[in-house]
Amino acid sequence: MNDKTLNKLHILADSAKYDVSCSSSGSNRPNDGKGLGNAAPMGICHSFSEDGRCISLLKVLLTNVCIYDCAYCINRRSNDIRRATLKVTELVELTINFYRRNYIEGLFLSSGVIRNPDYTMEALLRVAKSLRQEHRFGGYIHLKAIPGASPGLVHEAGLYADRMSVNIEIPSENNLKLLAPEKNFPSVYHPMNQIKESIIDHKEARRKFRKAPHFVPAGQSTQLIIGATSDNDKQILTLASGFYNDQHLKRVYYSGFIPVNASDERLPMLKQAPLLREHRLYQADWLMRFYEFQCNEIVNDEHPQLDTDIDPKLAYALRHPYLFPIDLNTADYEMILRVPGIGVRSAKLIVHNRRFGHITLAHLKKMRVALNRAKFFITTKELPSQLAGLSPSLIRRKLHVPEQVQQQYVQLSLF
């Protein structure tokens, strides 16, 4: 790698660090002995940014030149920053060389919009196409679909990528127009819906024809910026729930707003990204995807914001004391999942093992149930009966970690 390419890489990798939609698992492509590399469903190597975010793969922009002037974006056209653009051949060579040296397991490629959406999408497509066809690269490829690009280019890119993402960024269209006047929701929904339909069509084709090509086998994702607007958690989670149900997205990523353009009056004055709120949203998202919670069980008109002091599952249990305590020997699986301290694996073990006898505290300990939390919401012969009679406010005080204690724990720097 020469100095010119290395300088470009420094600029473009730094510009890419604000995009968090970079999960890389979910695609299985074994090496057939004729090409280079493979992709595994268990995921690939990850590294972490300075603030603790997970970043994976060779995460880089094709260019940080952009025709748009979004208020929240470091790469907006009005910012006076160092700009760079990698040639397709440079990016392909970087990926192959890094892969051969075992630095990376794949590529996460995004881009500013240079000239127009079609020009940019075509360049991204050429990178993926060259890696797959010319170099027989079998590693993981995550590509951005550029809103406004031609459907034909998006579709062709999906034939080479493992995962694609279309970032909607701002949770409501009114606020999107305020912060990014040149963007709109339809330009995001259109490629999102197109990718969904193509995934369904290609899966159906592969059921009939074994050699039918894959299309975005690891699914699609999107990213929402949290804290740049007044949108509440109910709006954010309702939007995310719609993405999971209607667009069949694999993941929605929540990115705490980082005030990179502090002088823009349209943006809130924040000292740092709202990482705790981001964390609670990921917990709520987890409940929707794996714990069979509906969005309106977590947030609703009465409780539009997540409680930052306690996790969403505990907050749900404390808001619905009439549902608890439950008898683990008779309760439905869905209800067991709603007990704080009991995870998906433990709930399945409880349902399986109770066919052979009563579930006891010894069983729960072996299943690694967090009894310090669960004991307030379940009944067994061994638990003190008074636990079941405690008020929600008292349970909250017993389980809530005081702020003074929380402040003792500090995110460690990995660098």
pLDDT in tens, the chain (415 residues): 678 888 888 888 887 777 665 554 445 666 677 776 666 544 444 544 445 555 467 888 999 999 999 999 999 999 999 999 999 999 999 999 988 988 788 888 999 999 999 999 999 999 999 999 999 998 889 899 999 999 999 999 999 998 999 999 999 999 999 999 999 999 999 999 999 999 999 999 999 998 899 999 989 999 999 999 999 999 999 999 999 999 999 999 998 888 888 788 888 887 778 889 999 999 999 999 999 999 999 999 999 999 999 999 999 999 999 999 999 999 999 999 999 999 999 999 999 999 999 999 999 999 999 999 999 999 877 776 556 678 889 989 888 766 555 555 555 554 4
CB atoms inside a 10 Å sphere around CB 177:
14
Alpha-helical regions (H) of 159-184:
173-179
Q: Which amino acid is at 61?
A: L
> Half-sphere exposure of 276 toward its Cβ, with a 13 Å CA cutoff?
12
Query: Residue 5 has what pLDDT?
Result: 85
Q: In sequence order, what E strands does 210-280 have?
A: 220-226, 251-256
CB under 8 Å to 381, separation ≥6 — which residues? 358, 360
Query: Residue 247 has what pLDDT?
Result: 93
> Half-sphere exposure of 312 toward its Cβ, with a 13 Å CA cutoff?
30
Contact in structure between 278 and 252 (CB atoms under 8 Å): no
End-to-end Cα distance, the chain: 24
Distances (CA, A) of 117 to 22, 114, 150, 357, 385: 21, 7, 8, 62, 64
CB atoms inside a 10 Å sphere around CB 278:
21
CB under 8 Å to 133, separation ≥6 — which residues? none
Q: Nearest CA to 218 among 125, 137, 143, 130? A: 143
Alpha-helical regions (H) of 22-167:
88-100, 117-129, 151-158
Contact in structure between 237 and 260 (CB atoms under 8 Å): no
Treating both helix axes as pointing N-terminal to C-terminal, what angle do 312-319 and 392-399 enclose, rounded to 10 degrees?
160
What's the pTM value of the predicted model, to 2 decimals? Answer: 0.85
Pair of tokens at residue 223: 């990213």
Residue 69, SS3 per DSSP:
coil
C-alpha 238/C-alpha 116 separation (Å) is 31
Contact in structure between 161 and 202 (CB atoms under 8 Å): no
Please state the φ and ψ torsions of residue 39, each to the nearest 5 degrees. -130, 140
C-alpha 415/C-alpha 238 separation (Å) is 37
Polymer length in residues for the chain: 415
C-alpha 87/C-alpha 8 separation (Å) is 10
Query: Residue 69 has what pLDDT?
Result: 93
Q: Nearest CA to 254 among 205, 331, 306? A: 306
Query: Residue 366 has what pLDDT?
Result: 93
Contact in structure between 378 and 384 (CB atoms under 8 Å): no
Treating both helix axes as pointing N-terminal to C-terminal, what angle do 88-100 and 3-15 enclose, rounded to 10 degrees?
90
Query: Residue 385 has what pLDDT?
Result: 59
Query: Residue 43 has what pLDDT?
Result: 40
Residue 315 CA from chain centroid, whole number? 22
Query: Residue 42 has what pLDDT?
Result: 44
Residue 370, SS3 per DSSP:
coil
Alpha-helical regions (H) of 16-108:
88-100
